[in-house]
Structure 1
């Protein structure tokens, strides 16, 4: 099966915990703190691999988590950094944040890499908190949680040339004749249900051709899996419009071309401007083919180059292939997808915390910064808790809760933790 969409969960490795340890050696009185730092968590990295051509791997495996960092130890020994998790995806994969649709990356070149979820930094050991007033601190940090998110993967085939047209127009026969691709071929509509790729050799050069499954009227609105197929035309530099010039399916070839081009424009106006040539197929079916070829030239001869061919017999295919090779030398490659140019990045400082009533009348404090501070605090160590309270006070959280109406004995929730409020 050909899978070109997937939704997966990725999480960077948590940072390793910092260590609380004291130096206790013979003849070394008052040795002081000796706890090392935790290691950085591993990143989740997507790498484009031209050897892959489907997202099938992600059909069954949905969760990807990098290794956490090693914990700090005594003797000021630092934890090892967590190993990065490399996730290989086909070239042509677009990665978006599932919740917001934000574009993360468009991986179009073999070996291209992008960090999708960063690992958390390692917590500091108690050596880091020694000072002139506190020479033996029992303060350290737990590792920072790694980034986590759901991402959507969308594969858009990378091909130089795309074959478009109605079902049964002869696209699969065309690509099987000019390349080594072996698509399923049969005499009924919708034989081809997945795109097929083939490499076409022209002298010492070559180009990649994609057989896009048959489009129908309404494809731009998703009729007949239109969106699933049209997506794969977005990266093609040149379109070959294969049309049944003999009208063997009872359709008018002139109207077929108008219909498909209209669907391209409705889906993406840029596709309608893409260079296109017409391959008038089934010229071996006479006399309808000659009559309709004349009509095609009258209707489209000023706009497109028209090549009479017979994919079944091979007639005229060489001329099409050589002309395509010539045109590709002049047509630039399609650039990777980027955020809209009119979206200006304006820095807006993130709110440090927000306070709201929870479902049971208690209090919920939210915010990445405060949740990170709580997650990295050793709540079983009194000195560490005192440090957290000082951070909350400096952030203005304590006064914010008072202003919101918190009372003694109320429960305050921050992240996964609950605290009982005491003035």
Structure 2
């Protein structure tokens, strides 16, 4: 298996070289179809030369990092398996406690800790990169605090996954995937319910809008959609980023429409109202529930396929992998690789559905505000603030973009016929 690990790393380096070559030597991110030159989507019409240069540079680097890191987790977990480190974690856990729960807790901690330490320098590089391009404003202390919060949240969720899944495998080796999916339904809904009030406040402070004049305008807009006032929140993101954003989170009485304070400070009132109308659309059209339903449907098929691959891999290579049985906790890295790979493979489908919902929200927002100019300006400012690529490569769009590209959004709005109120 050491030989396997070497070939694994060799293959990854070849892949990495091809990725870098494609984005640096072949792909031209500055290319815009001639038909769109001079339009609202042409970055030359709303960006200066320095902003254009930074956007092209930053976009290329971000694309490279994404395509390098996506399989890196797979390589990491497969290496941990192939060199016997996962089996070693299991031995440490079994020698530390005779109780199954604590054995799993100890094993998951070691797996999480080693992964965290290996990935921390990479995360730090991306943080420094974002800071060097003026996107991140976070201090090292704030960044490190978020990293530690991520670690412990990931640890808790991974431990819950390990406890539930391996118990189900022990009870039913053939249909554990289905029972795991059944359990995931209430868990997913519960997680969405508590996220705005428990998880999100761990990272940032949330409070009602400070600008009372703007608050009145937003509440008037929200009332047209029958949204209660308490669903509009502001979050202090300026201590972490210069980017702009707004989003909808949570379900039921805990659902919230959230605006970053950077959005409020850098956009005019009419631009903020368009952004708010877009987020209101998600609430009115129940896109969160549609997203949950789509996730559960995809995960049903994904878990079925994962179970087939997992069961076959263990039964075929259990000696080589140093795994004692299907419900051996040491096989957790293999399960994570399979789930991660299938999630990545399904991303074109899930991203496409997400882009459809976002486009639907754009249509709702422009019909609600009747202000095309504000809509165009808001998207242009979002592009500048995030150094976002207007027309990314197709492979980037399909694998990364949960929203329509800025080219698609700006051209759509520019050509959209708004029926003015009489």
Which of these two proteins has the greater Rg computed from alpha carbons? 1
Query: Whose helix fraction is larger, Structure 1's or Structure 2's?
Result: 2
Which structure's relative contact order is higher, taking Cα pairs within 8 Å and 6+ residues apart? 2
Measured against the shorter chain, the TM-score band is under 0.3
| Superposition TM-score, scaled by structure 1 size | 0.19
| Superposition TM-score, scaled by structure 2 size | 0.19
Query: Whose strand fraction is larger, Structure 1's or Structure 2's?
Result: 1
